[in-house]
Structure 1
């Protein structure tokens, strides 16, 4: 049955602010709560995670494993992969749920999202953090800012931005008429493909379109299956009807093939590799004549993010921000600093600072709260990063000044590695690595402007970048020169750490469509506006006034 339209003419959502961060310092209540959650999850593994289709658990028997990256012999969960038949059932189920969800008033959709955020903030905070730590290799702080705080922020600010979007209405009405804009959900279903590195991104990839009245088929990243499953369960507990989100882990060829050939495919919401995103875009293009409408394609992929330092840069700030940006969460952030350009007048001091800071970096189990870094996500990633380190060791133009070792005997551990190159277009300056490696090019301090051109034009990516300068004219020049080199640009701050409600996130070039997660702009991609004009005065005649004698 259809859900009746609400009688609420207007309403005001609760005030939205960023989720307060907890510190997890020794002896704190939150440290105790998180340690208990980690212990509880340890006692439950391996978990059995089904597909969820039309609100029902489905166990296909096609089993894959999600392991603990810091202890890869331990299985977090065995999850059931969807096959082609189940994917088709999920799509059909989503379409069957579409009408009632589309007709659900915004205040009711908003209530579900606000409740889900409160559930994460309180009841499930430590559970979802423990899942992110053990399943995705994050330390306590990184799990807090991701699975707890940012997930809450995406859900709450999404409601705030949706409220703002709905209020954008035509400013003029001719006499006797009333104009208005209806922000309809898309005609069809949305396909969300989420990455391993942020639990919050998975929540937003499905949350943004669903908040706007769409139904969604969700393929979570294999290495984030359990945390994604918790997000799904929380949404259901908050009141999301069955079928609105279909949770279908599965191998990409089977899932994607079924989705992209369906005539009701309406949008792709993607975060992942550039290679995969481009392949999906091509496949959508090749199927374009099969679709009822032109699908929306929204994606954020990789980056080759930079720190550019002027000769007036504050050395201490440069050192600390570069260490954090390059090595927090093992460099596995789309925004991580992977290339740096330091002036020769500051280089001796910066080098000494980096080496000293590097000595303080502890790498190991995420369950030991003293460790700044944990493991990389899996064997494939470990082998790729190891290959770059081995290449740098043999490259005549590269020198490893810190780190350079690795060990996968227990977990996928790579020591944070700092490379200095004399070639600004070496492999590690140009190629995305997605691991704890930063490569530095030392330029002549009086060649600032030409080096800005080098930074701006030497990468296919344009996600994040940072400029460190105490000279305002140099800052202005740098900001202008680097205008198209980064979608998120930071001045005297690291190139990681975008906060929902403060720095909408996304980049251009090969980094994605720059639709800015955490803003009203991305929500607009998942609606199809309808302009409505209602006339209150009948038209007496068709003749123009100029036709009259």
Structure 2
């Protein structure tokens, strides 16, 4: 063991490439897109470092061109889960004892590979398999994931350096142990960075993980797993198990060595997993840590003194970037009647300029939603709004799944603040506005706070500082990430740690030391330098 104190200097956020015309990165990315489109990839499970193919498989297709097959993924079940758990527990014997700087070195190398030779490979994979534009994919799959790797290593160093006071005669120490057992990481389709962070944040702390990626984004997740292997991740520390939810989840939850769940996905699935864990508490060797981020019904609230032009841009980007498939996407708006006509006119004019089509066409602002299930769910809400008496489609509302799962950016005006699309999570390019009377500002703030069970993100707009303060106080519990005169999306690691409360999750703030602390079990050590030799105390002596 090296006799030195090692230091990781505070990182800087990874620069985001623009991919503007004429830039070299634009041409490199386009070449990589064509290369990946011309091949098909087999995506097996990776258990103990070995590729495992099962007798069940599924096609991986491009959402904006669903007749184009990118590859085949092999689906896991109970047998593969048992193999993965055995592999993880065996790997833990050495990994948990690995000096922290050696664990951190793997992730620092992964970040360098990702921002260097792997940049276009990961970016193109995310664009094709998840229908993200070049810029949205760059922010997610490259910049944010590299930031997670670098800043998590830096945060871990800060945690380890936090030590208790030691009065004269003793030396007190805090040891930051990994949890016993393994972590179950269940990752979503919409962010490659989240898919990469959920299994790796606990692993950085010395844990081992079972990673079940979303089947609809398994393509980019597989690339991330291969990146980690190239960076030097030891076999068995992360076991990669594609598969349907229950086929992987049920046998994982039955194992007594489960020590944690790191989850991002739907509210229903998270609640099911939490309940399943609670029903099995007696069989586990430890109380599993549960960390989850689920959904949102994210809002934009405009005061009568809001800057309308800024409001238009924020609403457009927040509602329609990545087709509204962000848990932070703006889904409901509250607009004073004095601004409504101007906002509606300007917003409609700007939204009508949006191009929608294939992600490979860099002139497109929007592409397709992720799959048929999402397409059907989102369009049901649009049809409901079309037929309702207390709402109207202001713009958009058309959709087509013949070639890809395309849904127009849709804007609904509701005359009922409790209209279905004002209250329920849609996870698509549908924004609903409720126009309130100017003199009902305070009443509408209360309405905004109480309408949704979620509390993930929200934004307020005003040029009046007193109004901003009032809005801030009224909506204190309505969002874990709160934005003033800005859109409620695009949290950055080390700048806006991300997470929400209420039914949006446990608010353990991915991209911060707070999240890492959930994967650590502290041992307090007291070493007495001159132990007492007399068991009696002074108060026991006679007068």
Aligned to 2:111: 117
Give the match's secondary structure for 1:532.
strand
Residues 324/8 of structure 1: CA separation in 2 closer, same or farther (3 Å cut): farther
Answer yes or no: is 1:63 the counterpart of 2:57. yes
Answer yes or no: is 1:162 the counterpart of 2:160. no
Aligned to 1:12: 7
TM-fit CA distance, 1:27: 1.6
Aligned to 1:195: 188
CA distance in 1, matches of 2:247, 2:394: 45
Aligned to 2:526: 533
1:108-147 counterparts in 2 under 5 A? 108-147=102-141
CA distance in 1, matches of 2:441, 2:147: 38
Q: Give 1:79's match in structure 2, choosing from 69, 73, 82.
A: 73
Q: Per-residue displacement from partner, 1:304-348 (whole Å, max 9, x unpaired)? A: 000000001000000000000000000000000000000111111
Aligned to 1:33: 28
1:299-318 counterparts in 2 under 5 A? 299-318=292-311
CA distance in 2, matches of 1:414, 1:312: 33
Give the match's secondary structure for 1:179.
strand
Q: Give 2:37's match in structure 1, choosing from 10, 33, 42.
A: 42
Q: Give 1:92's match in structure 2, choosing from 79, 86, 89.
A: 86
Structure 2: 5+ residue runs without aligned partners?
Answer: none
Give the match's secondary structure for 2:69.
strand
TM-fit CA distance, 1:173: 1.4
Partners of 2:10 and 2:151 within 8 A in 1: no
CA distance in 2, matches of 1:304, 1:261: 33
Q: Give 1:216's match in structure 2, choosing from 201, 209, 213.
A: 209
CA distance in 2, matches of 1:345, 1:176: 71
CA distance in 2, matches of 1:15, 1:44: 40
Aligned to 1:152: 146
Q: Give 1:414's match in structure 2, choosing from 407, 410, 414.
A: 407
Q: Give 1:22's match in structure 2, choosing from 13, 17, 28.
A: 17
TM-fit CA distance, 1:470: 0.9
TM-fit CA distance, 1:299: 0.2
1:443-522 counterparts in 2 under 5 A? 443-522=436-515
CA distance in 1, matches of 2:533, 2:272: 57
Aligned to 1:206: 199
Q: Per-residue displacement from partner, 1:4-54 (whole Å, max 9, x unpaired)? A: xx3244111144010011000112100001001001101112x11110000
Q: Per-residue displacement from partner, 1:151-204 (whole Å, max 9, x unpaired)? A: 10111110111111111111x212211001001000110000000000000111
Give the match's secondary structure for 2:38.
helix
CA distance in 2, matches of 1:8, 1:403: 65
CA distance in 2, matches of 1:390, 1:458: 22
1:86-485 counterparts in 2 under 5 A? 86-170=80-164, 172-485=165-478
TM-fit CA distance, 1:70: 0.3
CA distance in 2, matches of 1:317, 1:66: 39
TM-fit CA distance, 1:538: 2.2
CA distance in 1, matches of 2:412, 2:191: 27
TM-fit CA distance, 1:384: 0.8
Structure 1: 5+ residue runs without aligned partners?
Answer: 1-5
Give the match's secondary structure for 1:515.
coil
CA distance in 1, matches of 2:198, 2:279: 24
Q: Per-residue displacement from partner, 1:334-366 (whole Å, max 9, x unpaired)? A: 000000000111111101111011111111000
Q: Per-residue displacement from partner, 1:53-102 (whole Å, max 9, x unpaired)? A: 00000111210122100000111220111121111010011000001001
TM-fit CA distance, 1:479: 0.5
Aligned to 1:3: none
Q: Per-residue displacement from partner, 1:240-272 (whole Å, max 9, x unpaired)? A: 100000000012112111110111000000000
Total equivalences in the alignment: 542
Give the match's secondary structure for 1:346.
helix
Give TM-score scaled by structure 2 length.
0.99
CA distance in 1, matches of 2:39, 2:55: 20
Give TM-score scaled by structure 1 length.
0.98
CA distance in 1, matches of 2:203, 2:483: 31
Give the match's secondary structure for 2:338.
coil
Aligned to 2:47: 53
